[in-house]
Structure 1
Amino acid sequence: MSFEPPKRLVNALGEVRDDGASGWLARLPEILQEAVERLELTVERVHVPGGRSSLVVLVRRADGTPAVLKLAPERFRPEAEHAALTHWNGLGAVQLVGDGGDLLLERLHPDVSVRSLPEAKALLEAAGTLRRLWVDPPSWRSCETVADRTGRQAEAMRATAATEPEVVPLVDAALTARDELLVAPPEVRLLHGTFRQSKVLAGERTPWLAVGPDPVVGECAFDLARLVRDRVEDLIASPSGAATTRRRVKRLAESLDVDQERLRGWTLFRAVESGVRALRVGRERDAELLLEFAGWL
């Protein structure tokens, strides 16, 4: 099957510097063709811009039902996403269709996310969706823990700080916050892992459903932290951005019964981690925004 992978996916996979991911990208037309034939699908179109870690294809099943086929390299743990979606079974999240281990999903409205709503309404709808995902984790271990994931990230942050001295104070603050937060987490839940407004799409079964989890097991504040910095470019551009951020932390913590200081701490860690990672791969503008945001916390 001949097609051009979305530029967003190509650029993102280029940043990870992984031979397996680059090899997967080179074989992607053949991988897609094999999946389409095996699942008896008809391709409508590749969704653009799509994701940063997967190819998203709008398809129809043999009976004409619209669906979405998602393909991702092993680096991005598609088996963990499948396991989490199976566990949620459509509660707050997109539902798997068909049998087997493929990421064949119910068709939502891929171009309509809560990010299209006014900011206050978007945060409210996104938070309500996230709450439904916080369930007891499965008894079988299919997802990494917050401690494991942030441990890997902490190592990379230290390595970058060794060559970028200007980020050392923020990295030190973020790592200290992580160490303190991991001592006694208040609960252990199955988390989305990469939740933000653009990960909540309009659906038919319910108005909004979450997509694209990178699931992890841990405390709820870790999951909510990524939502705090949504529309970070608007926050940075606003003269009241710092005050708005602090109000957002307070409002989200109260609305979802999460400890405000724990939410602030995880928001700091995740913003610094993302900013340092952006700096490492040459996305300097993203790094500047994220690290300025982190400085407000």
Structure 2
Amino acid sequence: MASVLPPPPPQRLVRALGPDHPWLAGLPALSQRLLEQWELTPERTVLPGGRTSVVVLVRQADGRPAALKLCAPSGAGARAEAAALTRWDGLGAVRSLRSDTAAGALLLERLHGEVSLRSLPEDKAMLESSSAVRRLWVPPEAGGFAFTTVAEHTGAEVERVLGRAPDDVRPLVDAALAVRDELLADAPEGVLLHGDFRQGAVLASDADRSPWLAVGPEPLVGEPAFDLARLARDRLHDLVASPGAAAATRRRVQRLADSLDVDRERLRGWALYRAVESGVRHVLAGDREDGELLLEFAAWL
């Protein structure tokens, strides 16, 4: 077995955390400990990687492939993901083989990371997305892990992001805050949600149970419309470039709601809120171009 993790952490993660983040400094030792403890042989780090984790393709002691995911920083994120994957037990999502949530580590079945639903034509991708996400909407286990609710999650966003919105987008932010309050006031009973469901989070699989499985959940408990709100703006650059983009956006939301028996207005409201929150977050991070694109999408709704 190799004695070190193959390449260094992905630069996308380093930029997100900052090169001096203490978790990055401890990553080599953490990686080596888990490789030895779980008898894993590393093959390569998945690139370009994400902003909150490192994924290393490995071989188990019996030669079977797997993926070692190290979440940064360790803690609630890894615990919530492990709990959600255990609840789904492979139904619509990648299967967890083992975990050390105190270390932020998950050993997952290996999927085809280079092939997501984004590789399919849009209509086919949306059809497969609908099928995949529907399987994830199950009741959280009674007495089990206490997942963050949509109300709690969005409340933190209001304080952390929308409360710092520039004055020039304040009317749109006010509309997003108002629709959030309305949606939470009469929210239906919550189910377990992926939290960050999009075409790029559904990967090809060789598993007999499904050819497409979801990965990278940021699980929450809430109504299905919240999950669909992120999917509604998938391939946003293509949507913007299409003729009659505003009308096409509204039609997409309606078709998506109807295909999964979700109330159109609730999906429209959450799509508006989530696009505004994401747009403001991009603007605050200095990514004005993508931020304004997201805010334009919200205005079309």
Shared fold (TM-score, shorter chain, > 0.5): yes
1:85 maps to a residue whose letter is L
Q: Is the 2:195–2:218 contact (alpha carbons within 8 Å) kept by the matching residues of 1?
A: yes
The separation in 2 between residues aligned to 1:7 and 1:124, in whole angstroms, is 34
Shift of 1:70: 0.3
Q: Please report how far the alpha carbon of residue 225 of structure 1 lies from its aligned counterpart in structure 2 after TM superposition.
A: 0.4
Partner of residue 96, structure 2? 96
For residue 99 of structure 1, report the CA deviation from its aligned partner: 6.2
* TM-score (norm. length: structure 1): 0.94
Give 2:81's aligned amino acid: E
Give RMSD over aligned pairs. Answer: 1.6
Does the 8 Å contact 1:187/1:220 carry over to 2?
Answer: no
Residue identity in the other structure for 1:91 = L
3-state SS of 1:111 partner = strand
Match of 1:85 in 2: 85
What's 1:222 paired with?
226
Change (3 A) 1:281 1:100: closer
Which residue does 1:124 correspond to in 2?
127
Take 1:53 and 1:292, find their aligned partners in 2: how far apart are those partners? 27
Structural mapping, 1:1-297, within 5 Å: 1=4, 3-14=7-18, 22-72=21-71, 73-74=73-74, 77-98=77-98, 101=101, 102-139=105-142, 140-161=144-165, 164-205=166-207, 206-297=210-301
The whole-number CA distance in structure 2 between the counterparts of 1:165 and 1:252 is 33
Gaps of 5+ in 1: none
| Unaligned segments of structure 2, at least 5 residues | none
The question of whether the paired residues in 2 share the 8 Å contact of 1:53 and 1:76 is answered with: no
For 2:112, the aligned partner's letter is H
Give how far 1:245 is off: 0.9
The alignment's TM-score, normalised by the length of structure 2, stands at 0.92
1:76 offset after TM fit, Å? Answer: 6.5
Of 107-116 and 132-141, more deviation after overlay is shown by 132-141
CA offsets 1:229-254 (integer angstroms, 9 cap, x no match): 00111112223211111111001100
Residue correspondences, number = 290
Offset of residue 149 of structure 1 = 0.2
- Percentage identity across paired residues of the two chains: 60
Residues 65-113 of structure 1, C-alpha deviation per residue, up to 9 Å, x if partnerless? Answer: 0000000123671110000000000000000114654410001101000
Q: CA deviation at 1:186?
A: 1.9
Question: Following TM superposition, by how much is the alpha carbon of 1:172 offset from its aligned partner in structure 2, in angstroms?
Answer: 0.3
